[in-house]
Amino acid sequence: MLHRAFAAWRGGGRRKAGGNATLIAVIALWALAVIGGEVMMWSYQLTPGATAAAAPATWPAGGAIPAHRGRPLLLMVAHPKCACTRASLNELRRLIARFEALSPPPDIYLSLVVPEGEGAGWIDGPVLRNASSIAGVRVVLDPGGRFAARLGATTSGHVLVYGADDALLFSGGITAARAHEGDAPGQNAIVRALYGQTSPIHRSPVFGCGLRSPAVKG
């Protein structure tokens, strides 16, 4: 097949009638491979992280973030080195701009998970730099990811929103695909919930890096 295709390519004036047919077959195979590659790429992007456990119905006490009665709270859990989280942070930036008319505005936190055995230097990177440029976002550390586990978060970019009455309003992601910026159902659900409107969804899949190392098999 390859030999015939190459001969068809190089045939020039001595091209046989079947030469172009072979070449067109090669082109068709190539187009199928390209389309297959695009499908695989999107399949990867549309595969959410590990299923999150149910988030606590009310804000859990005892964590790094104090109780927030009287004000809504929005928390994003992130892996400090996850490049996909850039999209989540950029969407968070746009989301915050939609909170302007909220009174009182929500307290906004970014909780960076530091794995066991790693120091505070682990959080240095693009996620922290990006978060630092978003006005109103307070960064907290989560040693060992214990607080993230209590919240049921398994994937970087997981957002939890609690109302002024401490009740859980939303739990999930705010991007429509992994590392993909743009509108997403989770964003609209958060805005509707914080403005006191009914939302058709209260959860959405989270696309991003895993917060925990994969379990060692054996």
Residues that bind other proteins (CB under 8 A): 9-10, 20, 23-24, 26-27, 30-31, 33-34, 37-38, 41-42, 44-46, 79, 81-84, 86-87, 115, 117-118, 145, 156, 176-177, 179-185, 188, 209-214
Closest CB to other proteins among residues 31, 64 = 31
Closest CB to other proteins among residues 107, 181 = 181
Structure tokens at 117: 């055995």
Nearest approach, Cβ of 168 to other proteins (angstroms)? 22
The answer to whether 199 and 168 are in contact (CB under 8 A) is no
Closest CB to other proteins among residues 73, 148 = 148
Unique residue bearing structure tokens 């060692």: 216
The SS3 call for residue 74 is strand
Nearest approach, Cβ of 100 to other proteins (angstroms)? 21
Nearest approach, Cβ of 129 to other proteins (angstroms)? 14
Closest CB to other proteins among residues 194, 211 = 211
Q: What share of the chain is helix, strand, coil (3-state, %, to 5)?
A: 35, 20, 45
**Rounded CA gap, 199 and 170, in Å?**
10
Residues 6+ apart with CB under 8 A from 144: 114, 115, 116
Closest CB to other proteins among residues 73, 82 = 82
**Rounded CA gap, 141 and 155, in Å?**
16
The answer to whether 133 and 32 are in contact (CB under 8 A) is no
**Rounded CA gap, 69 and 57, in Å?**
14
Nearest approach, Cβ of 132 to other proteins (angstroms)? 19
Nearest approach, Cβ of 128 to other proteins (angstroms)? 14
